[in-house]
Amino acid sequence: MLKNKKNNYFIFIFSVLVILSSGANPAFAAMEVNLPGLSDNATLSQYAAYIFDTLIGLAGGLALISFVIGAVTLIMSGDSAEASSNAKDRMKGAILGLVLTLASFLIIDKINPSLEKLNMTKLPEVVIPVPAVESGIYFFSEAGCTGDSSGAVTSSQNNLEGLVDAGIKSLKIVNDPVNKIDYGIILHENVGLNSGGKCSQPITSEGCQSINIDPEAADIFEMNKENPGGAGDGVSFYSEPYGWDSGADAGFYNVDNDEIDSPSYQASPEKMCFSYTGVKEPEAYQHKCAGGTCGNFSGSEGDTTGDEGVDCSTDACETFKDCPGSIDIKGSYLVAVYSKDSKSGSSDANYCQTFNGQTRDVEDMDTEPVVAAGGNEISKIIIIPIK
């Protein structure tokens, strides 16, 4: 009896080895050799189905071989009851194994053929959402937009203190292309946007920006890139305070809305020649003598007999540079008036005062700190259409 158990154990181990060697080898070697019934570019699921079918065939073959061995053993058992019983048990086990093998094949192939096809469904791609960066202007404590950072700032600030503890050394503009929001900024060295002082040029480019002043305040604005001409009715400059008042008798220079492009319009005050159409001012008020930028009158001051026959004056209000009286901002424009600060030793227009047309006009330039200490003239005008 013990011998038969050992034989059965040996046969079981042998059968497993045969199955593994027959089934596993194609699984591992199929990538290197061509298997009958499989194409050269078979998928992994096709290899798995091939191995499954092969194992079913091997199981059926082994059951048949076991049955034959049992039958031969039964015939040769003679009068040995034990050998005959073992042979019959082998044959019964072989028949049962064959029936189970055939049944599994029928279930797979006839009842639900799709079970035979081991399709490996590709897992859906997992997309990890990247948190959207809030649009606005970020201030940093170090150059290159590094160090401590503020959150997104989207409106003008009269005082930047506390946004970044260690002071501001750089900034980053993050626009919102979905909602078509494009930010710009003018930095001021003094607290308070109405105080005037050293300031930056308008910064309108997206991304990290270096700065060359120690800012304490900032004009932050949304540029009107889509329809700059639709920001309003333009900006008018006058030679007298309250120049839009008909009783002011002021010269005027108009910048029409269709002239103001995005991101900004720039004008030189010495080329902003006043018109005096319908204005009751003497010629000496309107025209400079020789050397003027809006005409070249050869007559001397108080002399009406010059080549042009025009009375002129060296102090005439010929341009906005000569007589900056007032500014009428007729719409959504940010007007920056720049002058040179002679004390800084720089030739750049690095002193400015800004005026937001959404909040106020400039009624009297004499009351506004638009000219740098030590300076005496305006050097540049920038008009930015804003939302």
Residue 51 is predicted with a pLDDT of: 74
CATH number assigned to the domain comprising residue 331: 2.60.20.10
Residues 104 and 196 in one domain: no
Tell whether pTM > 0.75: no
CA atoms within 13 A on the CB side of 359: 10
Residues 325 and 257 in one domain: yes
Residue 159 is predicted with a pLDDT of: 94
According to DSSP H, which parts of 30-80 are helical? Answer: 44-76
Provide the number of structural domains found in the chain: 3
Residue 18 is predicted with a pLDDT of: 42
CA distances in angstroms from 378 to 254, 322, 341, 363, listed in the order given = 17, 9, 10, 17
Residue 256 is predicted with a pLDDT of: 93
Residue range 159-209, pLDDT digits in tens: 999 888 878 999 999 999 999 999 999 999 999 988 888 899 999 999 999
Residues 207 and 99 in one domain: no
Reading the chain (387 residues) residue by residue, the pLDDT tens digits are: 434 444 444 444 444 444 444 444 444 443 455 666 666 666 666 666 677 677 777 877 787 787 788 778 778 777 777 778 887 788 888 788 778 777 776 776 666 555 555 555 667 888 777 667 899 999 999 999 999 999 999 999 999 998 888 789 999 999 999 999 999 999 999 999 888 888 999 999 999 999 988 999 999 999 998 888 788 999 999 999 999 987 889 999 999 998 998 789 999 999 999 999 999 899 889 888 766 678 756 555 545 444 456 778 888 899 999 999 999 999 999 999 998 766 655 555 688 999 998 887 899 998 888 776 555 688 899 999 999
- Residue 299 within a domain: no
Final residue of a structural domain among 222, 255, 290: 222
Domain hosting residue 362, numbered range: 228-274+319-385
Residue 306 is predicted with a pLDDT of: 46
Residue 15 is predicted with a pLDDT of: 46
- Residue 293 within a domain: no
Residues 15 and 108 in one domain: yes
- Burial classification of residue 270, based on how many CB atoms lie within 10 Å of its CB (0-12 exposed, 13-18 middle, 19 or more buried): middle
- Residue 90 within a domain: yes
Residue 197 is predicted with a pLDDT of: 87
What are the backbone dihedrals phi and psi of residue 286, each rounded to the nearest 5 degrees, phi first? Answer: -90, -35
What's at 243, amino acid-wise?
Answer: G
Cα–Cα dist 163/146, whole Å: 14
**Residues 246, 252 contacting (CB under 8 angstroms):** no
Residue 45 is predicted with a pLDDT of: 62
- Residue 94 within a domain: yes
